Structures are given as C-alpha cells and as structure tokens.
Amino acid sequence: MAVKLFNTLTRSVLDFAPLDPAGKNVGLYCCGPTVHDFAHIGNFRTFVFADLVRRFLEFSGYAVTHVMNVTDVEDKIIKRVRENQTTLRDFTGKYEAEFFKDLAELRCLRPTHTPRATEYIAEMITLIEQLTARGIAYQAADGSVYFSIEKYRGCGCRYGQLVNLNFDGMRAGERVASDDYEKESLADFALWKARVPDDGDVFWPSPWGEGRPGWHIECSAMSMKLLGTSFDLHLGGEDLMFPHHEDEIAQSEGATGKPFVKHWMHGAHLLVEGKKMSKSLGNYFTLRDLLAKGFSGREIRCLLLTAHYREQFNFTLDGLAGARTALARLDECLAKLREISGSTSAAPAEKLVADFRAALADDLNVSKAWAVIFDWVRDTNRRLVANELTPALAAAELAAWERVDSVFGLGGKAEAEAPPDILALLEARTAAKKAKDFKRADAVRDELKAKGWAVEDTAKGPKLKRA
C-alpha cells in the first residue's frame, strides 16, 4: 500500500516514491535545533513529527537515513555568547547535550547523523564559490557575500516554490543581512557574513575574508553533503517555509543546477491559548518544566502524537492529563495480555496492524490511528472478559501491538522503567540489526553493558534487563 504524504511543493497529497531506483533507501533531513537555549515543547512537536515520519517509513519497509543538524552558529547564538562572555563551543555544547537528553526522554530515535554547522564550514564555502562562479552570488561593499535573487531568476530558476511571493515591490540588489525576515522584505540574503567586532572570536577564514556563514547556507551544505545533491524528504516547522527553506532551495539548486528536494513536509505549530508557543512570546514550556510538574516524556510524546501534523494544536496541561488517562487504559490492557501470553510467542495478529497502517498511510492520519488502537483495546477487553483469549491469541495481539509501537514509540510500562538514554540505545541497536549493520549492533550492545544493562533477544523482540 502506497504511503500518501502532503507535499508543500505541489500543495497536494501524493503517493510517496523515493528517488532510489530500487525503491528502498530514503534520505530525510529535518532542520534541527538552534542551540542557544533549552528547546521548548513546541520545537519538540516538530521533532516528534519527524520521528513519526521516519518510523512510519521504516515500518513501511524503507531504509531511512535521517539527518538532523545542530545549528551551533547564527545571529542569536553569537549574541548570547557575547552576553555570557563565554566561547561558542562551551555555550552551545551545554544546550546541545540537554537537547539530545530531551529528545531521548521523548522517545525519539536518534537521527542517523546529527551534523554540527561549525563542522561543515568548508562545504558551505564550496557552495558559495559555486554560486559566485555561476554569477548568482556577489560580494557587497560591506564584505559580505549575498545571493542575488535577480540573477537566480535570470537563470530560469524559480524563487518562490514553497510560498507565493510578490516580486513587484522588490528592488534589485536590495539586501537583508539578518537571517530572519518577512516575505514583505524579500531581498538578496547573506550567504557569508563579513566579520564585525560584535562577532568576537566567532569567525573563519574564507576567500572573501574572515567571517561566518549565514544560517540558510548551513542546511544546504549539511543536507547535500550527507544525503546527496538531490534527496527525498525535507521537513521542518511551518515557520521555516519562508525564508529558510525557500533560500535553501535557491542556494542548492543555484549551485548544483539539480532539483534539491523531492518532497517537502511542514509541521504546524504548537499553540498556547491560540498563539504560537515561542521564546519571544514567553508562553512556552520546556520539557524539564513539564517533568517537574510530574509528567513523563512518554505522556508528552503521546499528547504530541494526538494531533495531525498539518493542524495547529493547542497545548494544555489538561490535554496532558488526558494523555495519562489514555495510556493507563492501554497499559492495563497490555498487562492483561502479557499475563495470559506468558512466554508464548506468535506472529502479529493482522487486523490491528493492517488498520493502523491504513490510517497512517493516509498522510499520517493519527486521529484515525488512535481510533484503531482504542477500538482494539475495547475489543481486546471484551475478549478478555469473555475468556476468549488463549496464550497464543494473546501473544499474537501483543505482537501486533509491538508493530504499532515501533511507530508510535510509547513503549510498555516495564520498559518505561529504563532511563531514556538506555531506551535510545536499545532502539539504536534494533535499527542497526534491521539494517544488517551487526558491527554497530554489537558496539551498541557493549555500550549498554558498560552502562549496566543487558539485552536479551526473545521471540517477542529484544528485552532489557539489569546486567
């Protein structure tokens, strides 16, 4: 069954088909965090969405290479480094480490690659050189290098693929130095920013003098280096459509002359009382704020998975309490099934898996998927009361749940006792084994052992035990 996904480029739901002629390998890039502070759960809505896309594609038989960059140099970071009188690496290192802890707490699979922008400066310079060689980029009097929208459009390329733009008000050569700007200030944007005193120690040498990259070129360089000049899927929050993603397309297609990304997906915002959850509005919760209130990463993940990714979703603490109740119902049913199945194993029962697959194959219709799950809970409870479930039947239903859970990643209660970094390692080992990368699987097993956990491969899948 084809997986249907909405594509921002065509503004329509399409059958997903990878560029790989064998139809197997998929390259997925999702813009990662800017590590200037703790991420809030609005940011994590986008990362849980990317995790869902990746897991569902893997469930559907694809081999996904998932890249999530770490933006560790840009305007806001430099400002904070200056204010805190620290170094770039010390400052960003702390927030980066916390970010990955939070990501594991939310049971997101660790992306295959998590490149830091500062480690890809050479690739960014090469891209800018390609753009200058093609006459699409130019160095201005301020020493910075800008992307010329006029020259790009003159090559027959299209600027404004994701959003409609009005070029009438645009004056050729007008420039915008800041990474963030509105559609109304459509202008040539900075690829390389010449060093200014406020940058402190944050600069690199380049053919255009000392300076640092603009934010947009970072993602073009890292994504194409790790996934190739053309790749399948590019994701991010809806606020990134313009200018960030539009500029990524222009830089990449301008430099290579090839189509950049086949399929763009954008996640809608998490709101608080009708407004985007954001640092600047001060209406945000970090993950640690919610953990301090007694909620778990599992409950927060569950809540974030209840809304369709293209719909804005209002965050409330009552919503989280609702997720807790829903999980308790599910856990109770799973516990009874485990009690009956004992050590019996069986192939997954078909109905739950097939209905769940059909729901998510319809542009990730999570509401339908949850309805399937809770119909299954109701029906299973009825069969339990009626004593209809033999150990083999209970094991088959449990195995079906394990398949569903490879996508939703909620885990069972017993598993919830293992800390998130251990669960992330277990998932990494399972993924490595699935990809037949046994060397990596063994290395992860050793890492788990060193942390005091053993993995036992049972007929029902890998189980964690205290070593």
Could you tell which of ligand AMP, Zn ion, none binds residue 278, using a CB distance below 5 to 8 A set by kind? ligand AMP
Using the rule CB under 6 A, give the single segment among 38-46, 119-127, 140-148, 197-205 that binds ligand AMP.
38-46
**Residue in this structure with the two tokens 């994504």, named with its chain if needed:** 223
Using the rule CB under 6 A, give the single segment among 18-26, 40-48, 125-133, 368-376 that binds ligand AMP.
40-48
Q: Which residue from 126, 278, 306, 365 is in contact with ligand AMP, where contact means CB under 6 A? A: 278
Q: Which of residues 238-257 bind ligand AMP (CB under 6 A)?
A: 239-240
Using the rule CB under 6 A, give the single segment among 3-11, 237-245, 246-254, 370-378 that binds ligand AMP.
237-245
Q: Which residue from 128, 219, 326, 373 is in contact with Zn ion, where contact means CB under 5 A? A: 219
Which CB, 189 or 208, lies closer to ligand AMP?
A: 189
Pair of tokens at residue 170: 């645009």
Considering the rule CB under 6 A, would residue 237 count as an interface residue with ligand AMP? Answer: yes
Please report how close the Cβ of residue 351 comes to ligand AMP at its closest, in angstroms: 34
Which CB, 236 or 348, lies closer to ligand AMP?
A: 236
Considering the rule CB under 5 A, would residue 222 count as an interface residue with Zn ion? Answer: no
Could you tell which of ligand AMP, Zn ion, none binds residue 360, using a CB distance below 5 to 8 A set by kind? none
Using the rule CB under 6 A, give the single segment among 55-63, 122-130, 263-271, 397-405 that binds ligand AMP.
263-271
Considering the rule CB under 5 A, would residue 31 count as an interface residue with Zn ion? Answer: yes
Pairing mode, strands 63-68 and 4-7? unpaired
Q: Binding mask 374-413 vs Zn ion (x if CB under 5 A, - otherwise)?
A: ----------------------------------------
Q: Which residue from 7, 8, 27, 45 is in contact with ligand AMP, where contact means CB under 6 A? A: 45
Strand partners of residue 261? 231
Q: Which residue from 269, 298, 357, 445 is in contact with ligand AMP, where contact means CB under 6 A? A: 269
Using the rule CB under 5 A, give the single segment among 119-127, 218-226, 320-328, 452-460 that binds Zn ion.
218-226
Nearest one of 45, 54, 46, 41 to 5, comparing CA atoms: 54
Could you tell which of Zn ion, ligand AMP, none binds residue 219, using a CB distance below 5 to 8 A set by kind? Zn ion
Please report how close the Cβ of residue 31 comes to Zn ion at its closest, in angstroms: 3
Please report how close the Cβ of residue 244 comes to Zn ion at its closest, in angstroms: 5
| Count of residues touching Zn ion (by CB under 5 A) | 2
Q: Which residue from 124, 261, 265, 270 is in contact with ligand AMP, where contact means CB under 6 A? A: 270
Rounded Cα gap, residues 425 and 446, in angstroms:
10
Q: Which of residues 406-435 bind ligand AMP (CB under 6 A)?
A: none
Which CB, 102 or 355, lies closer to ligand AMP?
A: 102
Which CB, 88 or 334, lies closer to ligand AMP?
A: 88
Site residues (vs ligand AMP, CB under 6 A): 31, 33-34, 42-43, 45-46, 236-237, 239-240, 267, 269-270, 276-278
